[in-house]
Each structure stands twice: as structure tokens, then as C-alpha cells.
Amino acid sequence: MARVRSSSSSSGLRYCNPAYYLKRPKRLALLFIAFVCVTLVVWDRQTLLREHEEEVAKLSEQLSHLKSLVEDSQNVQGDATKKIMLKGRGGEKEVVLDPIDIQRREKVKEAMIHAWSSYENYAWGQDELQPQSKNGVNSFGGLGATLVDSLDTLYIMGLHEQFQKAREWIATSLDFDKDYEASVFETTIRVVGGLLSAYDLSEDKLFLDKAREIADRLLPAWDTPSGIPYNIINLAHGRPHNPSWTGGESILADSGTEQVEFIALSQRTGDPKYQQKAEKVIVELNKTFPDDGLLPIYINPERGTSGRSIITFGAMGDSFYEYLLKVWIQGNKTSAVKPYRDMWEKSMTGLLSLIRRTTPSSFAYLCEKNGNSLTNKMDELACFAPGMLALGSSGYGPDDSKKFLTLAEELAWTCYNFYQSTPTKLAGENYFFYAGQDLSVGTSWNILRPETVESLFYLWRLTGNKTYQEWGWNIFQAFEKNSRIESGYVGLKDVNTGEKDNMMQSFFLAETLKYLYLLFSPSSVISLDEWVFNTEAHPIKIVARHDAVTSGIANGNDRPKIRLRGRKAGRTQE
């Protein structure tokens, strides 16, 4: 590179030498060439400046990584013997760390530093980074989606300097007064969930105040005759509505995936209105809940009834079923939240009816259903289901517990093969299953989704089988090989050719890298006994529920007292 710069610079200066033109009398030509001279010199200096800025950015990223390594060496006492003292509900205990796990966790942490530094350098404060063009884009109305989504990942990984810088941006620049048609679902899981998780981890009230502020702007979406919310709302002016392409209907996943966040918000503020709005949705759906627990993806917000439409554990259905289980866990499995568990078990009965197996390899997969017809198609999004089944299996008796855990392991094997079946070893968006062909990629893009890694994390935590760590490591390496570029991470337009897109999705930092990091961390780091993850992988503290029950679902009229444990001494907030 030095020789190239030297050559272009000396060439420009040679043409700028007046003696060179003494034998060239044509003034017009002389003026033209002089103009070219100046342009060459300016271009050369701009090139040097640009390269200097890129080198500084790289050095800054390397310095940040070195700082994190120093912090880790300070935090992990006795690292020479690979032992640490961990605190849990049962007191302190000594844990022997696997050196391979330590090495892999550091690699994932370095990937997070690279992704975050790229966002800092090219898209700070904007929603998402476009790495190839090195600019930001406000795909969520300018709410700093990547920044808010990444808060708890930064905190968990010990990247405290980056966390504090993000916190300062939230304190000074995060503004929700946007004339923007926001998705109630996306805003809840990313922004409300991200802020609540940052609060539970740090106990910094700024995050709770901000979570309440954005939730208040979302609340009018639930003002419908049935209580089933509209899925779109203008953040500045209200005016909730549904997208035109749904024919005025509300979407099942979008309407049934706010309960974890809104219940947590009521618990932490003592204001029951958030919990009441979100739980009324479940009350309404429970009135006509079918025996198989499977609901079509469209619901009428006026009547609260479902019409004839697709039933799926993939897009637009998935997280409704996830939250039935997770609200039960969030409430510490008390009688106040048992109706959620009952509804979830009905839905798992329905899930069993959608299981089919391929030939010749007998991969288990989840069909989609329309009326009485089944479609042999499964979204990668549905790869959250193995983790959900594993997480919920312990609530059954011994026989059913084993049955559902075995099914979870079978589905995880299928999802892992979604990755292994392509040339890039990254999964496509969905798969079709044909007799004698096992699985075939349908929509062939990959946008850095976390669902399979999420399930591997749960299965490793719940079974201790290190095979799931190996599978996760293979997926991480495929992301490193195919998606990592100098300025961040990108998805693939085609998992067969490896052609890259130009977007670093916020959930790559919020979910994919976080689950990979936890996959190689001790099980006491964000223990499943103390935390529940929302559908955007934001950990929320588990708090026992003892409120009254109405219409089969807790109504949230009590003002619960909770105790949060974090870096500071425990304290009670009312």
C-alpha cells in the first residue's frame, strides 16, 4: 500500500512541476493539466486521510478487545487452574472451567466487540448498520434499536465501557416522540424488553423510566372492543391500526407476545395497567381456546375470534406459544400463572399432531396447517421450538417429560441440519420436505437469525450434553467465515452461493451472539432458575406471582413487591 501511495503522489508532483510545461505552449492545455495536478494531490491526501481513519478504527477495536481480556483475567480468579467461585441460590461453589469453553467464549466476545465497534463507527444512534455501505438506517423509526437491543449483551459480556457509553446516549438522545408507524410487537420485544433487562441487570432506574415512557405510547393499541391489540401505532400521535395486508386482522404472535414485558413493567413500577392490558388478550383467547391449543395466525380485534388461516409455529404464530410457557416461568410457576401452563400444554398436544418425519433420514419436522391440510414446510423461525419443549418438559410427569425432551432433541438435530445441508453451512429461511429427499432449502437467504442457537443453548443447559456446544461452535464458525466483513456482520442473500446482503440485524447482537456466549459460559451465568428470556433474548428476573385469578388468568390487580439481586445489595421496590 505504501508503494501505491508513493507512486501516485510522485506522479502527481511530477506533472505539477512548471519546468515540465516549458516546451508546451498551449495555454489551454496547460490550464487543464494544472487542474488535473491539483485534483491528483487533493485525491491523494484524501486517500491517506481515509486510510488513516480506518486504521484508527481498527486500532480502537483491538484496544477495546484487549481491555475486555484484561477485565476477564481480573474477574476470573484462579484462571491458571481454570477454577472460579460462583454464587447461586445454594451459596458459593467452586466450578472447574473447560479451557476450550473459555477460548470459545472469548472468540464470541471478540465477535461482539467487532459488531459493536462497527455499529459505533458507522451507525451510532441509528437503528441498524448497513456494513457494506458503512452507514446507518432507521428501520425502526430512529429508536436506536441496535443500541437498546445490545445493552444486556454488553453487560453480560463485561463490556462495561461500551455499556456506559450506550447508557449516556439513552439518557441524552433517546426520544420516543416520533411521527413513525411502529410495530407494537417489535417495539415491545426490542425496546421495552431491552430496557427492562438492562434495568434488572444494572438496577439503573434510567432504563425503567425509559421503558415506561415507550410503553405508555404503545398502550392505546389495546383499546379495542375485544382487548386484542392493533399491531401498528404512531408513536407521536397514537392512532393504532393493523397493516393493510392482513385485511384488518391482528396477528397472533404480534398480539400475544407482550405479556412478559408488560407484566414485568407492572411489577417493577407498581402500576397494574400494563399487566392488565396484556393479560386481557390471553383472557379473551382462553374463552374459546381449542382442545389442541392451536390458533390460526389472524385474529379479529373487534370480536376477538380467529378466522380461517394458517396455523404455524413459524412466522406470525411462533412466540405466542413461547410466551404461554414463559409467563408461567416468569411468575415462578405459582398457582396464579398455572392457567398459562395449562394453555401451553394444550398447544403442545396440538404440536404433536404436526410432527412428521422425512425419508430416508427420519428428520423430525413441524408441518404447517391450513384447515385440514398439512404443508410439509418448516421455517427456521420454528427452530425456537426445541428449546421451548426442553424448557417446558420438566413441568410434566416423568413419562411425558422424557417424551417432550426426546422430541426437542430430534427437532434440534433437524434444525442443525438446516445449517449443515448448505454449501455455506448457514441455514436458509425455510425448508420443504419431499419424499425421499429429506430436506430442501426453500427461501434461501440467511439474516443472522438466532433460533437454532437458542435451542442449542437450552438443550445444553438442561441436559449437559456437550454435543450441543459443538453444533453451536460449528454454526458460529460458519457466521465468521461467511458473514463477517471488515465493517461488521452481514446476512446472505443466498446460502448456496454465499452472496452477501447489506444489513446487520439488531437481533444478531441481542440474541445470536448472546446465546452463543452463554453456550460456553457456566450455567450460573444468567441462571435459568432466576431469569427468563423474552423472545428477543432479553433476560428478565423471575418474580413469584400471587395475585388473584379472574377468567382463568391472573388479573394483576395487586401491587406486587419484588426484590432484585444484582451488583448492588438486594433492595425492595414497591
> Catalytic residue numbers?
186, 318, 429, 451
| Distance in angstroms (rounded) separating the CA atoms of residues 392 and 451 | 17
Contact 263, 188 (CB under 8 A): no
Contact 507, 191 (CB under 8 A): no
- Of 7, 148, 120, nearest to 56 by C-alpha is 120
Cell numbers describing residue 436? 425421499
Using DSSP's 3-state secondary structure scheme, residue 432 falls into strand
3-state secondary structure 107-159: HHHHHHHHHHHHHHHHHCCCCEEECCCCEEECCCCCCCHHHHHHHHHHHHCCC
Residue holding cell 438496577?
203
* Binding annotation for Ca(2+): 535
Cell numbers describing residue 358? 422425512
Name, in order, each residue with C-beta under 8 angstroms of 166's C-beta and a sequence gap of 6 or more.
Answer: 147, 148, 150, 151, 154
Q: Tell me how far apart the terminal alpha carbons of the chain are, to the nearest angstrom.
A: 63
| Distance in angstroms (rounded) separating the CA atoms of residues 312 and 310 | 6
* Burial call 77-114: b when 16+ CB within 10 Å, e when fewer: eeeeeeebeeeeeeeeeeeebeeebbebbbbbbbbbbb
Name, in order, each residue with C-beta under 8 angstroms of 90's C-beta and a sequence gap of 6 or more.
Answer: none
Using DSSP's 3-state secondary structure scheme, residue 219 falls into helix
| Distance in angstroms (rounded) separating the CA atoms of residues 250 and 302 | 10
Using DSSP's 3-state secondary structure scheme, residue 563 falls into strand
Q: How many Å separate Cα 164 from the centre of its chain? A: 21
Contact 542, 332 (CB under 8 A): yes
Other CB atoms closer than 10 Å to residue 137's CB: what's the count? 15
- Of 146, 247, 138, 124, nearest to 182 by C-alpha is 138
Task: Tell me the backbone φ, ψ of residue 571, rounded to 5 degrees.
Answer: -145, 155
Contact 455, 386 (CB under 8 A): yes
Residue holding cell 474477574?
75
